[in-house]
Amino acid sequence: MSSKKVATIDLGSNSFHMLISEIYTDGEIKELYRGKSKVQLRSGLTEAHGLTDEAQERALECLENFTLSLKHYQVDEVKVVGTYTLRKAKENIATFLKRAEQILEAKVEVISGEEEARLVYVGASANTKAQKKKALIVDIGGGSTELVIGKNQDLKALVSLEMGCVSMQNKFFADGLLTLSNFTRAIQHACQLIEPIANEYLQHGWEMSLGSSGTIRSIADVALANNYSDGAITREVMEALAVKLLEKKVVANIHFNGLRQDRESILAGGFCVLYALFDRLNIKKMLKSDGALREGMLYEIVNNYH
């Protein structure tokens, strides 16, 4: 039985992710390696929509490290996509992408918000009960949040909203303070961005909701580690976490059992996005999904390989 090794790389606004898998003609997938690096590309996006030299250097250094793994595993096919920050960047972006492509020896495809949402859905709904049920899938990234309602292959609604954990953190918690007014302003801003799509999503409805990527996985892990819940995110979990965050007073004090260190500085921003989504979309309960954008890219390659 023949196989090939593929790498799917997601150049996100907060982290760069790489998944290396071996795929077989019978459909079997073997995970070989999973790597990530907190590049925080979104923090390097200037008002003129350029990328700072520092952000570019961080990004390219990460890609050079990724190539060591690509060579080690002798990968046959590399698929690379860029998301929100690379969509937004206009100045000096061509030079950056050219350097990235030279390092990876692969084309970088900067995808639309809608395509990102679709791939997130493919990745998050695979291998879960979501395939049998109508599901709302939420992915809070560094610069954007994708919301998809679908059942099996049938997508009912998909949107990419301009709010993410890094952008919200930079905009509303730049003073480093966890004040009620900072949280209130951030949540109100997120609610305003959700408002135009809220009615359509509520009309479609869903049987279960799943969250993928860093913010939602982090909050689910904190809920489990601190006995707020069995890992499910509910209104009660969000209210309990809001109280705990306010008690911390400053961003530098954010440490929780179950929370990775690299998520501490952006938890408040991501929390506000999720709080607003629970509020405006009347979400009762959300489970974390193992799959996200890079898994979606992988499953599409697998389907084509068949």
Mean model confidence pLDDT for the chain: 93
**Higher per-residue pLDDT: 247 or 48:** 247
Mean pLDDT score, 111-131:
83
**Two tokens at 286?**
């959300």
Write down the pTM of the prediction.
Answer: 0.92
Q: What is the DSSP string of 90-140?
A: -TTHHHHHHHHHHHHTSPEEE--HHHHHHHHHHHHHTTSGGGTS-EEEEEE
In which band, very low, low, confident or very high, does the pLDDT at 243 lie, cut at 50, 70 and 90?
very high
Among residues of the chain, what percentage have pLDDT more than 90? 83
Which domains, and CATH codes, for the chain?
3-111 (3.30.420.40), 132-288 (3.30.420.150)
pLDDT of residue 131: 62
Each residue's pLDDT tens digit, 49-77: 999 999 999 999 999 999 999 999 999 99
Confidence check: pLDDT of 130 > 60? no
pLDDT of residue 124: 87
Each residue's pLDDT tens digit, 169-180: 999 999 999 999
Mean pLDDT score, 212-217:
88
Each residue's pLDDT tens digit, 77-118: 999 999 999 999 988 899 999 999 999 999 999 999 999 999
